[in-house]
Amino acid sequence: MALKYTVTLGLFALFLEVATEGIHINITSVWKPDFGWEVTCMWETPPNDTLQSVRLQNNGQQFMIYRPEIHGASRAEAFRTPENVMSVDCTLTATKGRKGRCVLTIEPYQPPSSDFTYTCEVSGERPTFMIERMDYVVKTIVPPSSAELEYKKYDEVSPGRVMMNCTSSGLPAPNLQWTVANDKVQADFTGRFWNRTTKLWHVWSFFAYTRADPSTTVTCSPEVLTHEELLKGTPATFSSASIIDSASTLIVMFTIMIFLR
């Protein structure tokens, strides 16, 4: 009886050790300029386990299963959603699938309307059939780029008059806030368009200003308001010292015509 009891305890301890190790999953996401998002799910099973399958979901909808016994050491597929083109490349990096990764690339072909949840579920083989899953929220947010300010002075027509054009890009569309000295002011005209190359909203804002005090500064600050925080880009500032000569300035009305075409 004592021997049987000792063996039973030994098996229980071994099972407990295997069970506590578990499958480890790590998901990361990065924004790739002029492309979209790259989301990577990496896994590692216990040393004595073997990968059975990896299941991938987008907002709760399964779109791919990877099984090494069927697909071999890797599997690559492409999928299309109403907003994105998704490509998945799953690859084993250790024997028996104990380590590996699935890299999901997401290229939006129209403005994203909301965040999405990417789920990675990894299953081990018998006898334990361990299952581990992780949900990862990919936020459709790209902080605003640094503001760029163009200006044209009209001293010949209206002394001290300056027309300024401020631009920035981001996701969602940044708001361009004008400030004269320490006072917030309204823009004269604003606009935006979805840039299919950068996959971002490009925004512009025009503001006409008469310089009463040469030392007064005008600042354009790009901001993106999310549910959690206010993301700010690097502002651009204009002052009378910015004007060197009229020949070196940019005529913003030409920019308006280009953007509105």
pLDDT at 156: 59
Residue 11: phi, psi to the nearest 5? -65, -40
Query: What DSSP designation does 7 have?
Result: H
Inform me whether the pLDDT recorded for 242 exceeds 70.
no
Count of all residues that appear for the chain in the document: 261
pLDDT at 145: 96
Amino acid letter at 116? F
Structure-block tokens of residue 93: 């990096």
Please give the model's pTM, rounded to 2 decimal places. 0.76
Three-state DSSP at 199 gives coil
Rounded to whole angstroms, the Cα distance separating 222 from 174 reads 6
Higher pLDDT, 20 or 150: 150
pLDDT in tens, 19-67: 447 899 999 999 999 999 999 999 999 988 899 999 999 999 999 999 9
Q: What angle do CA 257, 259, 261 make, to 5 degrees?
A: 70
pLDDT in tens, 181-224: 889 999 999 999 999 999 999 999 999 988 777 778 999 999 99
Inform me whether the pLDDT recorded for 143 exceeds 80.
yes
Q: What is the mean pLDDT of the chain?
A: 84
